[in-house]
Structure 1
């Protein structure tokens, strides 16, 4: 049996459809909107982030827990002080 592997771009980079996000401006404690690819957005709070801002941990406001996201996953995280139009779950 052969395992399927996710395709990678050149030199181990993420595929272009999941270009890295810039999360350097997100501070711990900031309220955010998280938009996952092909899923409804949800509200949360930045709980922690890596020193290089490539990974963030978000605690959801709906009680579904804490989740970790990498900047290569195609997830968009927006500060709530910025106006956005979305559908929340």
Structure 2
């Protein structure tokens, strides 16, 4: 499912115009993005949580040339699946 499919599903599920569903979806995504950019975590019970993981600098290699390169420290968003979602995905396995 992509963003436009999510908007369409929201519009149909709660019977609202597509434009309103798009505004709601965009607001939720923007709010979550801003919280993560501030270093905050997001927890949606039953679904999962988003946190920022910090990675230290390290020495890597350019895969094309094999030359050593210094990789700068970075922060990346990480999603940890919730118990309810994990169980729904693994039904029948």
The structure with the greater share of residues assigned to helix is: 2
Smaller-chain TM-score bracket? under 0.3
Higher RCO (C-alpha 8 Å, min separation 6): 1
Scaled by the length of structure 1, what TM-score is found?
0.26
TM-score by length of 2: 0.25
Computing the radius of gyration from Cα coordinates, the structure with the larger value is: 2
